[in-house]
Structure 1
Amino acid sequence: MPSQVDAFSAWLLDDLELKSTLFHVGQYCGNWQASTSGHRRASFHVVLHGECWLHLPARPGRAARSVALSAGDAVFLLADQPHCLSPDPLPPERGRESAREGTMTPLDTSGREAPGSLGLACGFFEFKSGLDDLMLGLLPDHVIARHDQPAQHGARQIFELIRAEALHDPQAPSPLIARLTGLLFVYTLRSLDGNEELAPCFWALMRRPALAPLVAAIVAEPGKRWTTASMAEFSHMSRARFCKLFAELSGQPPAQFVTLVRMKRAASMLSTGVSTPEAAEQVGYQSESAFAQAFKRVTGVQPGAWRRISGKNAEPAAHGALH
């Protein structure tokens, strides 16, 4: 039987097509600084060999961070944000967090790594279902996958494939690297329940035995009348303690999670031709008008428009989608 985390991963990725594209593959030596920020897209970095530091400047709700990375580690930035990788444990000067310095050279196919060099594969990814806002609302703004995490056993094999593809022809990086990195991201989701570096997000709820069953229940029955009082009772907590713990872990109120779960289910139903009134009823809305307002607030389009566009096998243009 799959764990609650695996089941939540499968639910989250259902109906989604993750598309990855490769930016560059190579190695840095000496003084350098790399970043994929400024492209208005989610991005990734996979450390092929060597060691470096990830620097993330402070932003609302999060202090500045400098994190050591080594071969086999991967960083997924789920939104465009200032950051950089460098060999220096100290962060760059303010205003230079996303600057790029140094020259990336091809990897050495002989496998001989220059002392102090760093092998890196970088690229971008997006979710092709138009549910970008839903995804970003459920996940943290960045995820660090450690090669030595027990849950990353399968991911380590994928990493070796990425490294082999990167070394195959350094002059013409294989497009398979991007596809393998997309698969690496799926494995990374499994490690989130044991990731101590996880920032507040709805996924963090899965790490608490007192709240994980509630998350699973809401996903299974989004149409149920989930009030703050009923969710607190389900979790065997007082309302005050439940709200405090939920907010500390996720950074948002319980009602927001319920809304995201309902809209994801509704979007899937509408894509198969289910009528708006039926979709509204199935996800717990007595008022079609209230449902339509909530759906547009989350996805950027009206339910009817979503159904029509999805029926034409086109990509819904969700508000805030990554381009």
Structure 2
Amino acid sequence: MLSHADAFSDWLLEDLELHSTLFHVGQYCGAWQASTSGHRRASFHVVLHGSCWLHLPAGTTRRAHSVALAAGDAVFLLNDQPHCLSPDPQPPAPGRESVRDGQMTPLDAPGQEASDSLGLACGFFEFKSGLDDLVLGLLPDHVIARHDQPTQHGARQIFELIRAEAQLDPHAPSPLIARLTGLLFVYTLRALDSNDELAPCFFALLRRPAFAPLIAAIVATPGERWTTARMADFVNMSRARFCKQFAELAGQPPAQFVTLVRMKFAASMLSTGASTPDAAEQVGYQSESAFAQAFKRVTGLQPGAWRRTAGESARGVLH
């Protein structure tokens, strides 16, 4: 039987087409600083050998901090945010968080790496379903996959495949690295409930026995009347305590989570040809206009436009 985290990650990735692209593969030596920020895309870094530090400046829901990384670790930055990797445990000066210094060279042969070198595979990824903003609203702004996490046994095998592909030809990186990294991201999501470095997001709720059954119930029955009072009763808390703890763990209020779940469900229905009234009813809206306003606020499109776009994409695939 799937855990709450497994079920939630599978639901989150359902109907999404994760597309990864490789930016570069190689190694750094001496003094250097690497970053993928500034490209307006989510990105990843996989440490192939050696060790380094990830530096993240302060964000809206976190303080500035630096994190040590070792071979087998991976970082997924789910939006374009200032950051860098470097061999220095001290963060760069303010304003230089995304500066790139040093030259990346081809990887050395296995077992012949210099002691101060760092092997790195970097790239970008995106969700191709049009639900990027909705999905990102349910995830932390960055995720670190640790090679030594007990729950990451499958991910460690994927990493070994990534490292093997990276060593094939230093001058022509294998396109399989990007595909394997996308799979590594899926495994990482399924291990988020055991990640002690997790930033505020809805996966943090799954680590609390009081909240996990509630999240599972909302995902399973989005059309139910999930008022704040009912959710608080579900977890046997006062409304004030429930709202406070939910926001602290998730980084967003409970009503916003319910809306995101409903709109994801509705988007899936509309993509398969359901009418706007049917989609609205299935996710608990009695007013079609109220549903349309909420749907556009979350997805950026009116329900009818979403259905037409999905239909056009499906016809394009068939032809």
TM-score range, shorter chain: over 0.9
Pair 1:156-2:156 in alignment: yes
* SS of corresponding position for 1:66: strand
Residue in 2 that maps onto 1:282: 282
Residues 189-268 of structure 1: matches in 2 within 5 Å? 189-268=189-268
Are the equivalent residues in 2 in contact too, given 1:109–1:168 (CA < 8 A)? Answer: no
Are the equivalent residues in 2 in contact too, given 1:33–1:99 (CA < 8 A)? Answer: yes
Are the equivalent residues in 2 in contact too, given 1:29–1:117 (CA < 8 A)? Answer: yes
Residues 84-123 of structure 1: matches in 2 within 5 Å? 84-123=84-123
What letter matches 1:143 in structure 2? V
Pair 1:146-2:146 in alignment: yes
Report the CA distance between 1:62 and its aligned residue: 1.1
Residue in 2 that maps onto 1:65: 65
Report the CA distance between 1:313 and its aligned residue: 1.6
1:220-272: per-residue Cα shift (whole Å, max 9, x none)? 00000000000011111111111111011011110000000000000000000
1:45-98: per-residue Cα shift (whole Å, max 9, x none)? 000000000000112221001000000000000000000000000000111000
TM-score, normalised with respect to structure 2? 0.97
Report the CA distance between 1:110 and its aligned residue: 4.2
Report the CA distance between 1:112 and its aligned residue: 1.0
Residue in 1 that maps onto 2:181: 181
**Gap runs ≥5 in structure 2:** none
Moved over 3 A (4+): none
Residue in 2 that maps onto 1:8: 8
Distance in 1 separating the partners of 2:196 and 2:12: 21
**Gap runs ≥5 in structure 1:** 316-323
1:156-196: per-residue Cα shift (whole Å, max 9, x none)? 00000000000011110000000000000000012210111
What letter matches 2:147 in structure 1? H
Are the equivalent residues in 2 in contact too, given 1:270–1:279 (CA < 8 A)? Answer: yes
TM-score, normalised with respect to structure 1? 0.96
* SS of corresponding position for 1:20: strand
Distance in 1 separating the partners of 2:81 and 2:250: 20
Residue in 1 that maps onto 2:130: 130
Distance in 1 separating the partners of 2:300 and 2:96: 34
The aligned length equals: 315
Report the CA distance between 1:109 and its aligned residue: 2.5
What letter matches 2:248 in structure 1? E
* SS of corresponding position for 1:163: helix
* SS of corresponding position for 2:137: helix
Residue in 2 that maps onto 1:318: none
What letter matches 1:236 in structure 2? N
* SS of corresponding position for 1:297: helix
Report the CA distance between 1:111 and its aligned residue: 3.2
Residue in 2 that maps onto 1:297: 297
Residue in 2 that maps onto 1:25: 25
Residue in 2 that maps onto 1:320: none
Report the CA distance between 1:289 and its aligned residue: 0.2
Distance in 1 separating the partners of 2:177 and 2:112: 21
* SS of corresponding position for 1:21: strand
1:130-178: per-residue Cα shift (whole Å, max 9, x none)? 0001111000000011000011100000000000000011110000000
Distance in 2 separating the partners of 1:299 and 1:245: 27
Are the equivalent residues in 2 in contact too, given 1:54–1:66 (CA < 8 A)? Answer: yes
